[in-house]
Amino acid sequence: MRGLGWITAINIVLVLLAINSVASAESRYKWNTLDWLESLNITHELHNVTTEDGYQLELQRLPRKGAHSVLLVHGLLGSSLEWVLLGPDRSLAFQLHKRGYDVWLANLRGTAPFGRRHVELTDVMAEFWRFSFHEHGAYDLPAIIDHMAQVTGRESELDGHQDEQGEKEPPRQVLLIGHSQAFNAFLVLLSMHPRFNQRIRLIQAMAPLARLHRQVQFDSTQVRHLMKFVKKRQKVNNFEIFPPGYLRKICQSKSDVCEYYAKQFIGSAKNNKKLLEPFNYEYLLQGGSAREIKHLQQIWKSGDFIAYDYGPVENMQIYHGVEALGYNISQITVPIILYFGETDAIATPSGVHTIYARMLKSVKSVRRIESAKFNHLDFLISADVKTLVNDKLIGQMEQFLEGRLPYVIE
Ligand SMILES: *[C@@H]1O[C@H](CO)[C@@H](O)[C@H](O)[C@H]1NC(C)=O
Ligand SMILES: *[C@@H]1O[C@H](CO)[C@@H](O)[C@H](O)[C@H]1NC(C)=O
Ligand SMILES: *[C@@H]1O[C@H](CO)[C@@H](O)[C@H](O)[C@H]1NC(C)=O
């Protein structure tokens, strides 16, 4: 009897523990970046940045004064949540900060809840949603990087850092890290505002989307379906393609549909549970404008890295020609490291290799994530992200900073 009593007690404890961990996982799915930082009691700063065209973006910073500044930039449908949601031991933001870096987390226009304000517009207006990676690179990133320079410049003045002539130091260079569509925004930034070539020390791009033509692992019918869906939402004035929680709801009620599209667009995963995991996070896959998707579709179709195609009439007014302009990427000089996953359906291995082989001269290294199966979102939520991605990224960055980055094309 006594033995049985013990077993019952242990069982009850186990059940309670299980319920508890399910409940806390459930609540974590609704956390945004700030919820994570606050609940982990991590020292952080918040910064408001206003872009030249009036968007008010909120950044988070894990400050380390005087250290190298790293800016982490999320991809399509992402937010700064990408860099914290695996907690203190496995998330890139925390790993970098522990290693001694000054870490900044970008939230580009459109992300909820940190990229949804504008000096005049509100996020229910069509006008608010007229952006793609072009505006992320042409307006958001310059404002963010200039703001970082202002803040770190002021801190260094306060610390009395001046050169012999008593002049101010030049703005501190930034180490950029981005996932997915963020790389497209980096290229727009550097070709539209070449002065940033001197301001950025290194770009590390995970699963970059700059070359999609004949590369993606889904076919034109599937792209048509996606575009039809986008159009339908626009028709009923849903300018935001996936509001926070939208995908979570769909994936709970129609898990087979969700699974099908997840497989097509995000690639294969070891098991279905893992495949659907990213959809659970309310603030992970959310936001997005129709134009973002459309612009990517145009790159996919044309095979060139072109500015947004408005159609011949509007193109004439904007670009003074019937066709959309190609970005002048030949002037990009910032060293670049690219990372690809073997089974990424969007940033495919050969797509990423063409960025190196045909597009940009300043690629210093192309690295494969060492796993037979690694897809687009695994860069953010894979259980092995620390060893497979983050440690590698930090290692490469440090080799680069010490001037001994090996030239490796994998
Ligand atoms: C949070 O951190 C501060 C400063 O390090 C400390 O004083 C405080 O006790 C911590 N709070 C919790 C709940 O851990
Ligand atoms: C940023 O703007 C929001 C909204 O106006 C405000 O609540 C917040 O205090 C501001 N944060 C900073 C650091 O200025
Ligand atoms: C692109 O940039 C290069 C280098 O700055 C310059 O020589 C060239 O004229 C530019 N091309 C266009 C079309 O602007």
Active site (annotated) includes residue 344: yes
**For the chain, what percent of residues have pLDDT higher than 90?**
60
219 in catalytic set: no
Q: Is residue 8 assigned to a domain?
A: no
Spell out which residues line ligand 3, taking CB within 6 angstroms. Answer: 328, 330-331
Query: How many C-beta atoms surround the C-beta of residue 374 within 10 A?
Result: 27
CA of 49 to the centre of ligand 1 (A): 28
Question: Is the CB of residue 336 less than 8 Å from the CB of residue 363?
Answer: yes
CA 120, CA 42: separation in Å to the nearest integer?
A: 33
Q: How far apart are the C-alpha atoms of 240 and 313, rounded to whole Å?
A: 26
Residue 13 lies inside a defined structural domain of this protein: no
**Cross-strand pairs, 48:** 58
Residue 212 lies in a domain: yes
User: Is 410 among the domain residues?
Assistant: no
Q: Does residue 83 carry a pLDDT above 60?
A: yes
- What is the count of structural domains for the chain? 1
Which of 179, 376, 378, 382 does the annotation list as catalytic? 376
Ligand 3: residue whose CA is nearest its atom 6: 331
- Comparing 42-46, 61-65, 236-240, 290-294, which segment has the lowest mean pLDDT? 236-240
Whether residue 218 lies inside any domain: the answer is: yes
Which pLDDT belongs to residue 9? 61
Helix, strand, coil shares, percent, the chain, to 5: 45, 15, 40
Residue nearest atom 7 in ligand 2 by C-alpha distance: 48
For residue 154, what are the β-bridge partners?
none
Look at residue 321 and tell me if it is in a domain: yes
Interval 382-410 mean pLDDT: 94
What are the pLDDT digits (tens) for 292-325?
989 998 998 888 899 999 999 999 999 999 999 9
Q: Hunting for tokens 């969007």 — which residue is that?
A: 346
Q: Residue 397 domain-assigned?
A: yes
User: Which residue owns the Cα nearest ligand 3 atom 3?
Assistant: 331
Spatial CA neighbour of 142 closest among 131, 154, 134, 153: 134
**Token output for 100:** 């001694």
Burial grade of 244 (CB within 10 A; 0-12, 13-18, 19 or more): buried
pTM for the whole structure: 0.90
Question: What is the span of the domain harbouring residue 97?
Answer: 29-401
Q: CATH no. for residue 147?
A: 3.40.50.1820
Question: Per the domain annotation, does 409 fall within a domain?
Answer: no
Between the CA of 73 and the centroid of ligand 1 the distance, in Å, is 28
Q: What is the mean predicted confidence (pLDDT) over 154-168?
A: 74
